[in-house]
Amino acid sequence: MAEETKPSAPENPILSPIVTTDEQNLVVAFLQFIRRKVSSNEATPEQAEALEVAIQCLEHSFALDDASYAFQPSQPILELFKSAEGLPEGESADHTPTEEEVAQANKLKEEGNDLMKASQFDAAIQKYNSAIKLKRDPVYFCNRAAAYCRLEQYDLAIQDCRTALALDSSYSKAWGRMGLAFSCQNRYQQAAEAYKKALEIEPNQESYKNNLKIAEDKIKELESARPAQQANPFAGFMEAMGGGMGNMPPGLGGMGGLLSDPGLMQAASQMMSDPNLSAMMNNMMSGQGSIADLMAAGQQMAARMQETNPELIENLRRQFGGGPGGPGADGGAPPNPPQ
């Protein structure tokens, strides 16, 4: 009997969900593929550096350690992927579907639409997946984005909208659906930009106008609350990262008092006077920053604090050593029906 796959507890449950052994093995196989590319000099020095950061992030997120690499897949993951997908060697992404493939793809799309109406969103996604394998149509990606939105998988929805727009930049519904997904993540600045793009293409579409106004109203609310955050830059940063001090991980309960330390506040105010660092922090607070922005801001903050107040850094180290809304929560039109 095959050994049962059991969940593996990650090193930091605050940052990582519980992952299974199968998931860890999949990531190990992928990281082996990445390391082979780097060690075979198939990446530039800049790419190799970025990939090493990615490897470290994935190892941390999936709670991998050296023992995890004892797993050895039966084949390299790229070969397994090509075999599972039935991809001929060197198949072009510009494959032109036959008339029969187009007809079958449209049939699968309609079946997916019917499943959406029946609220069977996972099944609808499978139909759209099958349609996309036959024909890379922007409508299929946009319809799948609608299903991901209903499942609250907004990052996947946003990527599908981006792919649809890469195939057809004038596809207004993809811009509108992307705006909805951003709004559901409370990323109102990006939502507003997406709705504006949709209105450039369809200036008379009332749902885009209404949703744009909602996004802009939320931006104004956040801007009016920003002065209170800026009074305590570190507290505002913690809020931007998803919660106040009540959400600090175990062992960091004393951080509340530390963040009110006058020396820390003075150092923070001095750092926030730096235009570059201030811009990074404002981007993070408004939801526009990326992981790279966050890492860069953290590195700059640590370096600046080390220069200006090394004793405070030691205090922080001792402390650490011791141990969004759902879809439609803020209003807005529901997702457009699939096409």
Residue 69 belongs to domain with CATH number: 1.20.5.420
Q: Has residue 201 been placed in a domain?
A: yes
Task: Mark which of 85, 110, 133 sits at the end of a domain.
Answer: 85
306 and 210 share one domain: no
81 and 119 share one domain: no
212 and 265 share one domain: no
Q: Has residue 292 been placed in a domain?
A: yes
Distance of CA 215 to the CA centre of its chain: 20
Angle at 273 between CA 241 and CA 238, to 5 degrees: 15
Residue 145 DSSP SS3: helix
179 and 244 share one domain: no
245 and 202 share one domain: no
Give the domain range for residue 36: 9-85
161 and 255 share one domain: no
295 and 204 share one domain: no
Task: Mark which of 26, 52, 85 sits at the end of a domain.
Answer: 85
Task: Mark which of 23, 58, 85 sits at the end of a domain.
Answer: 85
Query: Mean per-residue pLDDT for 158-174?
Result: 97
111 and 13 share one domain: no
105 and 219 share one domain: yes
Q: Which of 72, 66, 58, 73 is nearest to 27 (CA)?
A: 58
Q: For residue 20, report the phi and psi dihedrals to the nearest 5 degrees.
A: -90, 165
Burial class (CB in 10 A: 0-12, 13-18, 19+), 11: exposed
Domain count, the chain: 3
120 and 194 share one domain: yes
277 and 219 share one domain: no
Q: Has residue 14 been placed in a domain?
A: yes
Q: Which of 26, 17, 27, 24 is nearest to 55 (CA)?
A: 27
Residues 195-253 pLDDT 10s: 999 999 999 999 999 999 999 999 999 888 776 555 454 544 444 444 444 444 444 44
Residues 267-323 pLDDT 10s: 555 555 555 555 555 655 555 555 555 565 666 666 665 666 666 556 655 555 444
Burial class (CB in 10 A: 0-12, 13-18, 19+), 43: middle
Distance of CA 229 to the CA centre of its chain: 24
pLDDT level of residue 332 (50, 70, 90 thresholds): very low
Its pTM stands at 0.61
Which two tokens mark 19?
A: 């992952």
